[in-house]
Amino acid sequence: MSVEPRVEPPVGVDVDPLSFAEVVAVARHGAGVVLTPAAQEAVRRGRAVVDALAAGPRPAYGISTGFGALATRHVPAQRRTQLQRSLVRSHAAGSGPEVEREVVRALMLLRLSTLATGHTGVRPATAALLAGLLDAGITPVVPEHGSLGCSGDLAPLAHCALALIGEGTVRDAAGVARPAAEALAAAGLAPVELGEKEGLALINGTDGMLGMLVLALTDLRLLLRTADIAAAMSVEGQLGTDRVFAAELQRLRPHPGQAASAANLVALLADSPIVASHRGPDCHRVQDAYSLRCSPQVHGAARDTVEHAAAVATRELAAAIDNPVVVGDRVESNGNFHGAPLGYVLDFAAIVAADVASMSERRTDRFLDRARSHGLPPFLADDPGVDSGHMIAQYTQAGIVSELKRLAVPASVDSIPSSAMQEDHVSMGWSAARTLRRSVDGLTRVLAIEVLTAARALDLRAPLTPAAATGAVVRLLREAGVEGPGPDRYLAPEIETAVGLVRSGAVVAAVEDEIGALR
């Protein structure tokens, strides 16, 4: 299991919301965390309220009662530690494959962020231990299945809470699976004995859904710029026109994402000798196919959708999700744990990934059909009939796109009642988030194959040369070991190289080094 290198300095977890960049730094790049003095003081104030209620005569949900459908059961003071421990143990009921390290770290960080607001009522030592696990690179093993996206991501969070009491399995900073108690001891950390409300506070949040949304949106913002690059390479390689991307035409339909995408395409194709070669009066083509001509409209709508989802995620990063929640000098029940706001945009983002990938596959397919490729050899093969060129690379794209369309079926419209009908409507947001991660991976692969295919086509247009920006991508591929046109060779490694260059942001970086930042 690979472990990302640690990033310095650590992220300060405050009473103020975390940014996308801070979440990514901790989750994906292994940055440590530290609770700020303001956060520590907020935690102390919140805990004082819980302690006062715990000492009082009146039952308080989550403090001196059972949970969910068992909320009417009053629990005496001497059994409340057992109550919290039993809650964590019983709710750590996940099953299936292990969730990725970056997802678990995001989940832990976002739970810590809510604890830092003081609205959950945990003790300072409990919040500090969660920070300590993140700082030490200790990651609880969390199974994939178990959350309904309501009452928080209960099972995934419970598996994390289990590590705080020294139980369950974790992975240490080297990625080695170890018993939690052993890993904590090796890191100089001691388990906590949970007090009133603490078990509930550790598991009652939308943190898994939100963490996966932030990571996915970060990736999608990069991939949508990559999609503009791929489209530009395809327009150029298929002898399309750049005139349809002019700003005066885009202003007739003033969607901000469309304007940004079109501006990128104009910049990417600027001063292209290939485009200039067919711009004169001898060119009789009236207009390009939709997959070329309408790229800004589709990519732009995708951008606007991603930014809507980002606005929802930003508001959720500012939220304190728990039930009950400490407000002033009292504790109140609420429904803020419901995952609907996140579930909807997680599903929406999966639709975006599927549609952008679908258009990318159509552009790729046009390169391979002699009837539509404007002079390119069939399948871009060196010796068509003996060689198959990129024929099966498009099959791979098509298979992924078909899967992405199935994954775009929304999870958030489903609901299965639970907890003896007390929790009778749930969001399925966790499922939507797991689906979106697969969708983002699929889009990455589809765009990589388009870039790979378009680069081969641009080479085949020699002696004409591509624009500076698109040429930089072709050069990047060649320097990474992907050869130009020639007899058939083992293609899968070349595809994986292209996938890595797209995923890492190297494709975007190569372009921006040449022409400046894309929008």
Dig out the tokens for 442 from the structure: 């699929």
Task: Tell whether the model's pLDDT for residue 441 goes beyond 80.
Answer: yes
414 inside domain: yes
Looking at the structure of the chain, the number of domains it has is 2
Say whether both 132 and 254 belong to one domain: no
| Tens-place pLDDT, residues 498-508 | 999 999 999 99
Instruction: Give the pLDDT band of residue 41 (cuts 50, 70, 90).
Output: very high
Residues 150-157, mean pLDDT to the nearest whole number: 89
Say whether both 395 and 320 belong to one domain: yes
What pLDDT shows up at residue 70? 64
Residue 39: name the closest of 107, 130, 105 by CA: 130
49 inside domain: yes
Contact yes or no for 161/88 (Cβ under 8 A)? yes
Residue 205: name the closest of 113, 321, 93 by CA: 321
Say whether both 234 and 164 belong to one domain: no
Residue 216: name the closest of 23, 364, 403, 355 by CA: 23
Q: What is the largest CA-CA distance in the chain?
A: 91
Highest mean pLDDT among 6-20, 23-37, 406-420: 23-37
In whole angstroms, what is the distance from residue 319 CA to residue 17 CA?
A: 8
Say whether both 98 and 178 belong to one domain: yes
Strands (E), 168-278: 169-171, 177-179
Please report, for the domain that includes residue 181, its CATH number. Answer: 1.10.275.10
For the annotated catalytic residues, the residue numbers are 61
Q: Which one of 163, 183, 205 terminates a domain?
A: 205
Q: Which one of 186, 205, 224 terminates a domain?
A: 205
471 inside domain: yes
% of the chain beyond a pLDDT of 70: 96
Say whether both 445 and 474 belong to one domain: yes
Say whether both 164 and 251 belong to one domain: no
Residues 272-285, mean pLDDT to the nearest whole number: 80
Q: Which one of 179, 205, 231 terminates a domain?
A: 205
| Tens-place pLDDT, residues 51-108 | 998 888 777 777 877 666 566 677 777 778 888 999 999 999 999 999 999 999 999 9
Sign of the alpha-carbon torsion through 396, 289, 358, 259: positive
| Tens-place pLDDT, residues 188-244 | 999 999 999 999 999 999 999 999 999 999 999 999 999 999 999 999 999 999 999
User: What pTM was computed for the model?
Assistant: 0.95
Say whether both 167 and 307 belong to one domain: no
Q: Which amino acid is at 209?
A: M
What pLDDT shows up at residue 333? 87
Residue 266 CB: number of other CB atoms within 10 A? 17
β-bridge partners, 34: 12
What pLDDT shows up at residue 2? 37
Task: Tell whether the model's pLDDT for residue 435 goes beyond 80.
Answer: yes
Say whether both 250 and 176 belong to one domain: no
Domain of residue 431 covers 213-515
In whole angstroms, what is the distance from residue 333 CA to residue 376 CA?
A: 66
Say whether both 200 and 219 belong to one domain: no
4 inside domain: no
As a whole number of Å, the end-to-end CA separation of the chain is: 35
6 inside domain: no
5 inside domain: no
Contact yes or no for 433/209 (Cβ under 8 A)? yes
In whole angstroms, what is the distance from residue 96 CA to residue 395 CA?
A: 30
Residues 309-331, mean pLDDT to the nearest whole number: 94
Say whether both 133 and 270 belong to one domain: no
3 inside domain: no
Say whether both 255 and 180 belong to one domain: no
What pLDDT shows up at residue 4? 45
1 inside domain: no
Please report, for the domain that includes residue 288, its CATH number. Answer: 1.20.200.10
Say whether both 86 and 138 belong to one domain: yes
